[in-house]
Amino acid sequence: MQIFFFSLILCFVLIFSETIQEDKKALLDFDSSSLLHWNKSSSVCDHWTGVTCNGNKDRVVSIRLPGIGFNGLIPPFTISRLSSLKILSLRKNRFIGEFPSDFINLKNLTHLYLQHNRLSGPLPTSLSELKSLKVLDLSNNGFNGSIPSSISGLTSLKVLILANNSFTGEIPDFDLPNLRQIDLSNNKLIGTIPKSLERFQESAFSGNNITERKKQHKTPFGLSQVAFLLILAGACILGVSGLSCMMITCFRKARISAKLRKRDSSSPPSGNWTSRDDNNVEEGGKIIFFGGRNHSFDLDDLLSSSAEILGKSAFGTTYKVAIEDMSTVVVKRLKEVVVGRREFEQQMEIIGMIRHENVTELKAYYYSKDDKLAVYSYYTQGNLFEMLHGNRGMYDRVPLDWDARLRIATGAARGLAKVHEANNGKFIHGNIKSSNIFVDSECYGCIGDLGLTTIMKSLPQTTCITTGYHAPEITDTRRTTQFSDVYSFGVVLLELLTGKSPVSPADSVTSPEKNMDLASWIRSVVVHEWTGEVFDMEILTQSGGFEEEMVEMLQIGLACVAIKQQERPHITQVVKLIEDIRIN
């Protein structure tokens, strides 16, 4: 009996060894020119560029080699020997020839990305044999001929991107019940949009000779269009009039003086908004401007200006202040400042010296016994938290598209890298979260609220624990570091991708655990394979075919939220990785 079990175990070992060795040989045959410099003496699962194995490390399940510089034909009967392969990305290379016919052997393939190559010829009807395929992106090639109607056989398909090719003929009436994104734009297609695809945006079919779809002009209650529009116009006028009356009656402009002048009468604020005077040491102090700028208003002008409360946090209350004849600024009234005047000023001076297009500018600060103020630039676009989560589910919500999210991530990463350069490369933000990332007019992210953790009594460690942004080590050390900043930024990237709150994003279907933070939830979902199931549906319902770019961002985000801080990338590496997602 012992001999039998020993033999059985030996068989399993031999099968395992042969299987992974076969995958290794297939990959080496694919890269016969050694362009990737794979270490032939090491295991294929041991940090081979672009290669991912399954949890048991006995099969290759993912090949991602975008923009490597391959050219010529895709070596036949190499990759197709990876029978467990689920994800294949060879995008942005210079491959030529027709669609590899041997790819039909990849029965487990779920994601295929061949966009931005020089492939040509018709698509084979046998493509329908890839029954597990969920994402197919063949855009920006030279494919021609008609689009095979056999694609309807890909019943698992969710994303179909064939844009910027030379396909001709009519669009097949696909029967794809799971399809949620399609892009056939910029081909040579003719005819009309099939009924099965009418639910998609017209931009998915633009750049073809497609007959404009008929728009049905129906109105409620069976009214004629003219009657309905007249009634609607009347209702709008009444609604606007009523709303105006309510606003005039119920709302008054808040005055920041009522908020900021709540101080001990024995120490009223004094001085004007002038350049710094080092001889000034009285407790009232002056508001200190950066950059040697002259301003034609004083403290009383600021305190009596119209203001609007933007929010409250552990650091204090933030106001939007519209100064008469001046630009709008943001004033943060800091509470529970525990440091003295000199240390406060030193920290403000460091922050004020940080000048970067992706860092919120600290314009001025004020210190007195009872009030500590910080004056910042104002961003009309608001912050990332509002853009991601505000008005979700409302009919008038304008969702962030993927391009905007990528720009926000790029700008915010660059801003954080600049912040970490301050104070001889030792500066720590300490409170990275989506509400502290603001969006400029070009939709790039800008880091705000920096450097306040060292002067406040209520450190963000205590608040971050309840918001899902904190790094695991903060629970024990109670100290923020640049690597904990990277962790928090990684959570922001995951928030951008999923559209979910960092706290308890999981539902009962994907995870039975309660109070699971965003990073833990995503780890639990993708532990076995990379999946698009975590992505925000607001992105996936838009045309564009950016799911692979989103997967790359997901990988970056997960690297940032590594449990061990020594395994997290430096923020400069994060910037490079994000910038490389889209190679111009």
- Residue 137 and residue 115 in contact, taking contact as beta carbons nearer than 8 Å: yes
Residue whose token pair is 């490369």: 425
Residue 423 has pLDDT above 60, yes or no: yes
Between 186 and 474, residue with greater pLDDT = 186
Residue 337 has pLDDT above 70, yes or no: yes
Instruction: Provide the terminal-to-terminal Cα distance of the chain, rounded to the nearest Å.
Output: 64
Q: How is the chain split among helix, strand and coil, in percent rounded to 5?
A: 35, 15, 45
Average pLDDT over residues 395-408: 85
Average pLDDT over residues 136-158: 92
pTM for this prediction:
0.64
User: What does residue 438 show for φ and ψ, rounded to 5 degrees?
Assistant: -100, 160
Between 201 and 431, residue with greater pLDDT = 431
DSSP assignment of 103-153: GGG-TT--EEE--SSEEEEPPPGGGGG-TT--EEE--SSEEEEEPPGGGGG
In tens, the pLDDT along 210-252 reads 886 654 444 444 445 555 566 666 666 666 555 654 554 444 4
pLDDT value, residue 50: 82
pLDDT value, residue 277: 37
Average pLDDT over residues 190-196: 92
Residue 44 has pLDDT above 60, yes or no: yes
* Percentage of residues in the chain having pLDDT higher than 70: 74
Average pLDDT over residues 23-32: 92
- CA distance readout (Å), 351 to 102, 434, 503: 59, 20, 30
Average pLDDT over residues 14-31: 80
Out of 2.30.30.40, 3.40.50.300, 1.20.1090.10, 1.10.510.10, the CATH code matching 390-579 is: 1.10.510.10
Between 211 and 96, residue with greater pLDDT = 96
> Beta strand pairing status for 437-439 and 372-377?
unpaired
> Beta strand pairing status for 94-97 and 71-73?
parallel
- Side-by-side strand order, sheet with 254-255: 254-255, 306-313, 316-322, 328-334, 372-377, 362-367, 287-289, 273-274
What distance in Å separates the CA atoms of residue 333 and residue 131, rounded to the nearest whole number?
A: 60
In tens, the pLDDT along 531-583 reads 667 888 888 776 566 778 888 899 899 999 999 999 999 999 999 999 988 75
Name the residue among 487, 508, 391, 383 with its Cα closest to residue 431.
Answer: 487
pLDDT value, residue 232: 64
CATH of segment(s) 254-377? 3.30.200.20
What distance in Å separates the CA atoms of residue 418 and residue 385, rounded to the nearest whole number?
A: 22
Secondary structure element (H or E) that encloses residue 327, with its range? none
pLDDT value, residue 486: 96
Between 79 and 398, residue with greater pLDDT = 79
Task: Write down the domain spans for the chain.
Answer: 9-210, 223-250, 254-377, 390-579
Fold of the domain built from segment(s) 9-210: 3.80.10
Residue 13 has pLDDT above 70, yes or no: no
What distance in Å separates the CA atoms of residue 165 and residue 328, rounded to the nearest whole number?
A: 49
In tens, the pLDDT along 449-480 reads 887 887 775 444 444 444 689 899 887 777 88
pLDDT value, residue 326: 59
Exposure class string for 564-579: b at 16+ Cβ within 10 A, else e = eeeebbebebbbebbe
Q: Which long-range contacts (CB under 8 A, 24 or more apart) does 38-44 make?
A: 44/20
545 CB neighbour count, 10 Å cutoff: 25
What distance in Å separates the CA atoms of residue 391 and residue 89, rounded to the nearest whole number?
A: 36
Q: CA 183, 185, 189, 190 torsion: positive or negative?
A: positive
Between 316 and 457, residue with greater pLDDT = 316
Between 535 and 494, residue with greater pLDDT = 494
